[in-house]
């Protein structure tokens, strides 16, 4: 029988020079065990077959085979950066959201993206552009999932899958066909406004730094009296707004089809941090009747409503790893905090479901445990198990109601009972009108 030639992993483990103190720079398997040879598989003799016992080989191949997760159906091509938002104006009369308390600085993660084109596609393609923001506030995460335009193509979420199907490549040829999406849009007159904007220079931005961001939908501010104010968000670039013509985009694509990412990251790494000023437009519920159209229709703008600056967004850090951040970050319009609520905008109402459902499909039920999605505040609830569950749960009671609701902790009968989670306070404060 041929002698079994083990990889250096066993020899390294047995070597007296190997110790736990020396492992900081050593390659390990996922279980933390040291790797002795990352270039040669274990074999049964010099000319024998590879051995199934080579755990490092098996794990390396298994992990490689599973490196890809489902690509986003929309917004697949994206670039992310860390930063901070600083609130500058007292608007406590409008909202009790602490993120807008004057002087408060909140860490953020922002992802820019195209909407239709796949991951790895050229960045100079004409498309709406995503401008999504995750605010890690002291009251939980608030996600504002916006665009580079203040409006959208359609006003009813029922039409969204059909619109995306028309914009994506043909199911027969796998080639994008203008006849297909113009066929769809010709039956949607409300899309004309957005189409005219996309086919302007703003449809192909020359820099993510030179692109405005809009919340698109109207939301509700709620103050500590329960009073409602409708609000729209506009992040205005201090770098200005600039874009390419079709010919300029083709020329740039030939030079560098990753120019938007390279421009953003090079600038941030050079310490020239891009800045956006946050402006809001507000309406009281009674003012909704002053328009010739429904102001909660996301295909329309509030042109005659003045803007007020309330804060500043600055991007100042390039992520250390693309997949762990930009690819796994999950923005969800239903991630709201006390003082900010969803309006009756019908398209927004559909997005409240669709985005969270998409992330659960792509990343698993516990996607908000992933570091880039994890709130800075403690998360405590009775959500149970699921793939990737890493919650800090304890105790036997994971339901309500329970005797734990009124448990007296010095009573021997309740010594092992976890106190019930409270559901009171600002989070239970909903609007009185609107």
Using DSSP's 3-state secondary structure scheme, residue 422 falls into coil
- What is the residue whose two structure tokens read 């914009």? 167
Query: Measured between alpha carbons, how far is 364 from 385 in angstroms, rounded to an integer?
Result: 11
pLDDT at 392: 67
Q: Which residues are within 8 A (CB) of 48 and not within 5 positions of it... i.e. 6 or more apart?
A: 2
**What is the SS3 assignment for 277?**
strand
Residues 112-133 have a mean pLDDT of 96
* Helix, strand or coil, per DSSP, at residue 229: strand
Q: In the numeric block, which tokens belong to residue 121?
A: 């596609």
Is 14's pLDDT higher than 60? no
Residue 425: is its pLDDT beyond 80? no
Task: Determine what percent of the chain is predicted with pLDDT higher than 70.
Answer: 88
The Cα 214–Cα 221 span in angstroms is 16
16: tokens are: 């007296």
- All domains of the chain, ordered by start, with CATH? 8-65 (4.10.91.20), 78-369 (2.40.180.10), 394-434 (no CATH)
The gap between the terminal CA atoms of the chain, to the nearest Å, is: 83
**What secondary structure, in 3-state letters, does 357-409 show?**
HHHHHHHCCCHHHCCCCCCCCCCCCCCCCCCCCCCCCCCCCCCCCCHHHHCCC
- Is 352 in contact with 335 (CB distance < 8 Å)? no
Q: How far apart are CA 417 and CA 403, in angstroms?
A: 9
Q: Which of 256-286 are b and which e, b meaning 16 or more Cβ less than 10 Å from the residue's Cβ?
A: ebebbbebbbebbeeeeebbbbbbbbbbeee
Q: What's the pLDDT score for residue 24?
A: 72
pLDDT value for 404:
73
What's residue 17's pLDDT? 42
Mean pLDDT along residues 22-43 = 88
CA atoms of 148 and 118, how far apart (whole Å): 18
Give me Rg for the CA atoms of the chain: 26
Closest to 104 measured CA to CA, from 333, 355, 397, 312 = 312
pLDDT digits (tens, 9 = 90+) for 270-302: 999 999 999 999 999 999 999 999 999 999 999
Please check the confidence at residue 51 and state whether its pLDDT lies above 90: yes
Q: What are phi and psi of 283, to 5 degrees?
A: -140, 140
* CA distance to 6, 38, 133, 181, 343, per residue, from 30 (Å): 20, 14, 32, 47, 46
Please tell me the number of Cα atoms within 13 Å of 311 on its side-chain side: 20
Give the pLDDT mean for 154-178.
96
Averaged pLDDT of the chain: 89
- Taking residue 145's Cβ as centre, other Cβ atoms within 10 Å add up to 22
| 316 in Cβ contact with 83 (< 8 Å) | yes
Residue 88's pLDDT is 98
pLDDT recorded at residue 379: 87
Decide if pLDDT at 62 tops 70. yes
CB 288 within 8 A of CB 230: yes
Predicted confidence band of residue 6 (pLDDT cuts 50, 70, 90): very low
42, 89 contact by CB (below 8 A)? no
Q: What digits encode the pLDDT tens for the residues 254-273?
A: 999 999 999 999 999 999 99
For residue 1, the model assigns a pLDDT of: 40
* Closest by Cα among 130, 151, 129, 146 to 299: 151
Q: CB within 8 A of 103, min separation 6: which ones?
A: 86, 87, 88
- Confidence band for 432, pLDDT divided at 50, 70 and 90: low
Q: Taking phi first (over 0 means left), then psi (-120 to 50 degrees means alpha), and beta for anything else, what does residue 36 get?
A: alpha
Please give the Cα distance from 42 to 50 (Å, whole number). 6
**Global confidence as pTM:** 0.89
């Amino acid at each position: 029988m041929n002698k079994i030639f083990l990889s250096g992993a066993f020899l390294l483990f047995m070597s007296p020079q190997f110790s736990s103190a020396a492992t900081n720079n050593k390659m390990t398997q996922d279980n933390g065990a040291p790797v002795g040879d990352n270039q040669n598989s274990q074999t049964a003799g010099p000319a024998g077959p590879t051995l199934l016992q080579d755990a490092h080989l098996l794990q390396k191949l298994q992990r490689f085979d599973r490196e890809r997760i489902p690509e986003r159906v929309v917004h697949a091509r994206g670039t992310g950066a860390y930063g901070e938002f600083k609130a500058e104006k007292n608007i406590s009369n409008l909202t009790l959201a602490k993120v807008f308390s004057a002087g408060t600085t909140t860490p953020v993660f922002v992802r820019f993206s195209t909407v239709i084109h796949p991951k790895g596609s050229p960045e100079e393609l004409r498309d709406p552009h995503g401008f999504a923001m995750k605010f890690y506030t002291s009251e939980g995460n608030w996600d504002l999932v916006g665009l580079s335009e203040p409006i959208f193509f359609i006003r009813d979420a029922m039409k969204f899958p059909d619109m995306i199907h028309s914009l994506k490549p043909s199911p027969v040829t796998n080639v994008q066909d203008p006849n297909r999406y113009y066929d769809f849009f010709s039956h949607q007159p409300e899309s004309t406004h957005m189409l005219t904007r996309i086919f302007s220079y703003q449809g192909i931005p020359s820099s993510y730094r030179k692109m405005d961001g809009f919340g698109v939908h109207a939301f509700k501010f709620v103050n500590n009296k329960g009073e409602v104010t409708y609000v729209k968000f506009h992040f205005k670039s201090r770098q200005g707004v600039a874009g390419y013509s079709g010919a300029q985009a083709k020329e740039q694509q030939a030079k560098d089809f990753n120019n938007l990412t390279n421009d953003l990251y090079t600038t941030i790494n050079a310490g020239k941090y891009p800045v956006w000023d946050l402006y809001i437009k507000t309406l009281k519920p009674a003012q909704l009747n002053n328009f010739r159209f429904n102001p909660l229709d996301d295909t329309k703008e509030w042109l005659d409503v003045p803007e007020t600056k309330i804060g500043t967004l600055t991007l100042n850090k390039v992520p250390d790893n693309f997949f762990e951040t930009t690819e796994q970050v999950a923005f969800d319009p239903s991630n709201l905090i006390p003082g900010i609520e969803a309006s009756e905008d019908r398209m927004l109402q559909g997005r409240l479901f669709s985005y969270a459902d998409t992330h659960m499909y792509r990343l698993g039920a516990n996607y908000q445990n992933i570091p880039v999605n994890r709130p800075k505040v403690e998360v405590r609830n009775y959500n149970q198990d699921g793939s990737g569950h890493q919650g800090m749960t304890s105790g036997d009671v994971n339901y309500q109601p329970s005797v734990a609701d009124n448990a007296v902790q010095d009573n021997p009968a309740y010594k092992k009972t976890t106190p019930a989670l409270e559901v009171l306070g600002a989070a239970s404060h909903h609007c009185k009108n609107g």
